[in-house]
Each structure stands twice: as C-alpha cells, then as structure tokens.
C-alpha cells in the first residue's frame, strides 16, 4: 500500500471530477488486462530507489497554487516522484485505444503515465500526471518507466512550445528516480541501462481521440456517451447541455482546434513524429513528446522518427493530411451518438477547405504581408520550392528575412546567406532563381503600407529566433547524464523568450553543427526517445 500523506504542507485545491463522474475499472492492481465498460483503472505509482528533483517550473508552480518553498519540501519530492500519495486522492491510468501508423491497435491506455489528481487554481483546472512512474494495467509488455534522456526532451519541449504560442500540455517538474532502466534506443538489438526519470506533466485534460475510439470500437455506446457528456460538461460547457446538436458542435470545435494546432506546428517547423490517434488531444494540444524534432533544413519530407523512415507517414509536409485522417477516425467514433453522416462530413470539409487558406495566411504573416493578393500563393509556393533546392535552415531564414528593406531587395540573397548550410554550393541558376524571387517579393512589399520597422516587428512575433533544436536537447542530456544541470537551466530560460533577441545567447542562433547531422538523439530518434 502506498504511503499516504495526511498532514499536508502543500495547499492544493483538489477537485477530482474524472474519477468521481466516470465509470471505473472494478479490478485493482497492475496486472495487464483488457478493461471494459470503464474509463480508467486505479493504480499507484511505483516507489523509486533514490528520488532527486533536478528542475521545477516556477510558472507551473504558480499555476497550481504552489510556491518555490513548496517545491523544496520532502512532501513535494515524494508526491511528484510517485513515492507518496496525497490523502483523499486515488491515482489512476486512463483506458483508451488508437490507430498507430494507420492501423487499429485496440486497447492501449496509459502505459507509463499515472494521473495523480486535479487541481483548481485561479479558476482553471489542471490534471497532474507522472510519466515514467511504473507499470499500469495498460503497460502490456513494457515496464511503465522512463529514462532521463526522454524525460529531458519532454520537459524542455512542452514548456518551449507553450512560450512559442503553440497549444500544448505543460511540465511541472523533472526528477531522477535513482533506478536503472533498460532501453534499446533504436530498437536494433543493443539495449543498455540508463538513468530512470519522471516528468510531472500538467494539462487541463489528457483526453485524446483514442479515448472515444475504444468505446466505439467495442460498440459500448453507453460509456462513449458518458465520456462525451463529461468532456462537454467540463471542457466545452459553452456548447450547452448534451444533445445531437451539441455533439455536432463539439466535433466542429475539435476539428477547428486541431487545424489551428497543426498550422502552429508548420509555422515553427515542429514535427511531432508519431501522430497516432492516441497522441491527438481532444483539446487541440500538443501531447506526448517522443521522437519529435524541429526542421533544420527546410524539407517537406523530413521525419525525425526512425520507425517511420520508410513510410514517412508523419513527415513534416504530411502533418496536415494526418490531422484530417485522424479526425475521420474521431468522426467514426462519435457517429453512434449522432447517427448522421452529413454534419460530420461538413465539419471535415471545413478542415479540408480551411487548411490551405490558413496555411497561406500563416505564410503571409511569416513573410510580413498584411494584405491579401492573388499573387501571394505563387510567391509562397516559389519560396517553399527554393528553400528545398539547397539545404536552408528554416528558423534562421525567416528570422533574417525580416531585415529586408522593401525599397531595395536586390541584396536579399546576401541578407539571408547565413541560413544556407553550404552557400558555396548554390549554383548560378539557383542564385538567379533566388534573385528573381526577391524581386517578386520586393514588388509585393511595395504594395504594403507598413514601414520596414513595423514589418520586422510583426515578422519577429511569428518567426522565433530560438527553438529547441535536437542537438541542443542532446547537449543538455549529455551534461545531465554526468550530473550537470546548468545547461538545462540555461536552455529552459532561453526558450521562455523565443521571439526575443537575447543578445547574450546568440550562440544558440546557429545552424545544426555537422557533428549532429547523423548523431543518435539529434537526427535519429525512436518512440523510446
């Protein structure tokens, strides 16, 4: 039996709704099993050998109603490493299914995530969860643990994405467990022991498309309706009481929030890497940071996930299509409550027609256009073609583009030259194409009323200067493996202001170093990353 903390030092306003309003698995324990007619199973985190807190987000402490002093307490350490459970709380793992790489996988569930409780603070509700806290009934053949490497990546990225303005789950803390965990990083038959770690993740909800899919696949319409009604009550209450019309409106909102999310991903050059339906948030948040990556060279066909290298299903340029495919699966799951195809198709058609328009508008903003002209599509398409003709750093290119003066764009290519990985390899014909594009761009800017200063300001609000490049995360990991956490703190602070110049951090405004081109953790990642 897990130790309970009765005399709480931390003052948390705990108001659990998930476990009080949804059906539970009547079977206790961690034995792997198929769970039916239930949305979750009660399960305690596994104790760890020697827990050690190595970082905490001050912002998330405040969001939960906690202080820095709270985070230094023994109680905080025990609770957020799974070694104690707060009184009157019952940790649980969610039951869900999902399509993985386009194939129905059946029951999946929280295999290495355990939800601790829900906290209400400043009129906002947060679900607090531990990732890597041990086995659950949904772990299948896995151990439910996480390693320092993947935990650092999730901890840094979720907070970095938030400050980029991308909807995301958040992270509260990062801790070592003191245990060794066996992992085969690239699934190539070379397992090794790594340092165990736990991330405390926080979100308004961790519900994903797969929660609804599982009940639909089992024709359990009753539990499906209960879950959808719960979701509407707590996260879409503005839609009113549940009804067929409400369910349609609910699906429409999920469609639009998913569209908006993926446009944000494309804007900053983020590639999720594993867009299975069990990794798609019902709230339109980025969820489950595994083999993700940021574009270094602008490449529509790039994926960071080694598992997906041949199919490239989840490549950068295909993320919008996968978003739509996943929404089709959600539509199928909700159909038993609606029993009409037309309104679901209408919502999906809105995504299909709306995404190209949203992408063009997003690209207009990236290149500093505030008005709409018919020629803009050709301008953008030619730019995207040129960016792929020679290896060009996406983040650096768009940041430098803001320095162009519309009165004279003849030196445009020289202004962005730093973004090319090998400028000397630009052929004469490619240089001519670039010069022609800059002339096209300059003529288009002449039709804009904004001054160069105003345009630069606007562009620098949507084109980040700093993103969490994989090599940067790997440097943090390498240091942390040796017990050094200074770089973790440095990048955590850097990425809180990704659009600011931060002149003292210019070293991070740089192309991927050559040593990282083919290094594991930088260019090659797996679902264990």
Q: Which is catalytic among the residues 278, 288, 308, 393?
A: 278
Token digits for 266? 């494309």
**Which contacts of 496-501 are long-range, i.e. CB under 8 A and separated by 24 or more positions?**
496/159, 496/163, 497/163, 497/466, 498/160, 498/163, 498/164, 498/464, 498/465, 498/466, 498/467, 499/460, 499/461, 499/463, 499/464, 499/465, 500/465, 501/465
Which of 148, 171, 149, 150 has its CA nearest to residue 160?
171
Which of 267, 78, 73, 76 has its CA nearest to residue 165?
267
CA distances from 358 to 213, 339, 418, 446 (A): 28, 30, 29, 24
CA 11/CA 244 separation, integer angstroms: 41
- Report the length, in residues, of the chain: 529
**Which contacts of 346-350 are long-range, i.e. CB under 8 A and separated by 24 or more positions?**
347/248, 347/251, 347/252, 347/255, 348/255, 348/324, 350/252, 350/255, 350/256
How far apart, in Å, do the first and last CA atoms of the chain sit?
Answer: 32
Which of 126, 117, 118, 121 has its CA nearest to residue 84?
117
CA 322/CA 259 separation, integer angstroms: 11
Contact 199, 169 (CB under 8 A): no
Q: Residue 281: beta bridge partners?
A: 208
* Residue with tokens 């594991």, as numbered in its chain: 520
Contact 83, 133 (CB under 8 A): no
Kind of pairing, strands 85-86 and 4-5? parallel
Told to judge if 3 belongs to the known catalytic residues of this protein, a careful annotator would answer no
Contact 109, 74 (CB under 8 A): no
Q: How far is CA 164 from its chain centroid?
A: 11
CA 278/CA 267 separation, integer angstroms: 23
CA 77/CA 300 separation, integer angstroms: 43
CA 98/CA 278 separation, integer angstroms: 5
Residue numbers annotated as active site: 278
């Amino acid at each position: 039996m897990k130790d309970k903390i009765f005399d709480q030092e931390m003052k948390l306003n705990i108001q659990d709704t998930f476990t009080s309003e949804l059906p539970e698995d009547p079977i206790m324990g961690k034995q792997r099993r198929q769970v039916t007619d239930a949305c979750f199973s009660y399960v305690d985190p596994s104790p760890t050998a020697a827990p050690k807190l190595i970082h905490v987000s001050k912002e998330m402490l405040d969001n939960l109603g906690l202080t820095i002093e709270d985070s230094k307490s023994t109680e905080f350490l025990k609770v957020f490493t799974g070694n104690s459970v707060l009184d009157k709380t019952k940790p649980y793992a969610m039951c869900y299914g999902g399509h993985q790489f386009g194939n129905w996988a059946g029951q999946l569930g929280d295999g290495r995530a355990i939800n601790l409780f829900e906290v209400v603070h400043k009129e906002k509700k947060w679900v607090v969860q531990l990732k890597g806290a041990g086995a659950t009934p949904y772990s299948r053949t896995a151990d439910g643990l996480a390693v320092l490497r993947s935990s650092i990546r999730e901890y840094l990225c979720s907070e970095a994405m938030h400050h980029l303005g991308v909807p995301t789950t958040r992270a509260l803390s990062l801790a070592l467990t003191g245990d060794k965990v066996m992992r085969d990083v690239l699934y190539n038959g070379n397992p090794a022991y790594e340092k165990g770690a736990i991330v405390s993740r926080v979100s308004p909800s961790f519900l994903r498309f797969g929660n609804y899919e599982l009940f639909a696949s089992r024709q359990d319409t009753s539990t499906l309706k209960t879950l959808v009604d719960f979701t509407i009550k707590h996260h879409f209450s503005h839609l009113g009481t549940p009804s067929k019309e409400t369910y349609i409106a609910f699906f429409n909102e999920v469609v639009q929030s998913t569209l908006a999310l993926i446009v944000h991903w494309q804007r900053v050059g983020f590639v999720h890497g594993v867009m299975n339906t069990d990794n798609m948030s019902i709230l339109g948040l980025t969820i489950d940071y595994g083999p993700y990556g940021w574009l270094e060279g602008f490449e529509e066909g790039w994926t960071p996930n080694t598992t997906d290298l041949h199919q490239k299903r989840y490549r950068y340029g295909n993320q919008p299509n996968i978003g739509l495919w996943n929404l089709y699966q959600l539509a199928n799951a909700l159909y038993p409550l609606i029993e009409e195809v037309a309104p679901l198709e209408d919502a999906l058609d809105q995504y299909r027609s709306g995404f190209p328009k949203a992408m063009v508008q997003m690209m207009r903003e990236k290149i500093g256009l505030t008005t709409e002209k018919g020629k803009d599509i050709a301008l953008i398409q030619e730019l995207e073609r040129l960016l792929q003709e020679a290896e060009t750093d996406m983040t650096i290119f768009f940041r430098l583009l803001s320095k162009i003066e519309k009165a004279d764009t003849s030196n445009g290519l020289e202004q962005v030259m730093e973004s090319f990985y090998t400028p000397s390899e630009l052929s004469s014909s490619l240089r001519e194409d670039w010069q022609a594009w800059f002339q096209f761009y300059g003529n288009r800017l002449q039709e804009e009323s904004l001054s160069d200063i105003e345009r630069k300001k606007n562009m620098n609000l949507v084109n980040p200067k700093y993103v969490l490049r994989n090599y940067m995360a790997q440097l943090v990991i390498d240091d942390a493996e040796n017990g050094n956490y200074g770089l973790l703190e440095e990048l955590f602070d850097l990425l809180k202001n990704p659009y600011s110049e931060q002149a003292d951090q210019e070293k991070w405004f740089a192309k991927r170093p050559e040593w990282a081109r083919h290094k594991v953790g930088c260019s090659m990642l797996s679902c264990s990353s």
